[in-house]
Amino acid sequence: MNEQDDPTLLAAAEAVMDGMTVDWAGLKAGNPALAKELSVMERMAEVAKAHRTLLEEGDVT
């Protein structure tokens, strides 16, 4: 299995897409081999959250 098929990464990606809160520190602690990938996903989740917030507030045209 490659990292693209890793169930931890897939579950985290699904949670981000659904706008759910993810315990990034817990995931990284429990999956040290995936820490780099999870850190990148965490940053992407922050961008997605900011974008969602702007859309909800109507600040995006």
pLDDT for res 55: 84
Residue 15 domain flag: no
Q: Do 40 and 28 contact (CB within 8 A), yes or no?
A: no
Q: Is residue 57 part of a domain?
A: yes
pLDDT of residue 34: 96
CB 24 within 8 A of CB 42: yes
Domain assignment of residue 53, yes or no: yes
* CB neighbour list of residue 41: distance below 8 Å, 6 or more residues apart: 9, 12, 13, 16, 24
Does 19 reside within a domain? no
Asked if residue 20 belongs to a domain, the reply is no
Residue 54, in any domain of the structure: yes
Domain count, the chain: 1
Other Cβ atoms less than 10 A from the Cβ of 45: the count is: 21
Alpha-carbon span 61 to 56, nearest angstrom: 12
Q: Is residue 41 part of a domain?
A: yes
pTM of the model: 0.79
Is residue 46, in this structure, part of any structural domain at all? Answer: yes
Contact (Cβ atoms closer than 8 angstroms) between residue 34 and residue 9: yes
For the chain, 61 residues long, give each residue's pLDDT as a single digit of tens: 555 689 999 999 999 999 899 999 999 999 999 999 999 999 999 998 998 888 888 765 5
Range of the domain at 53: 35-61
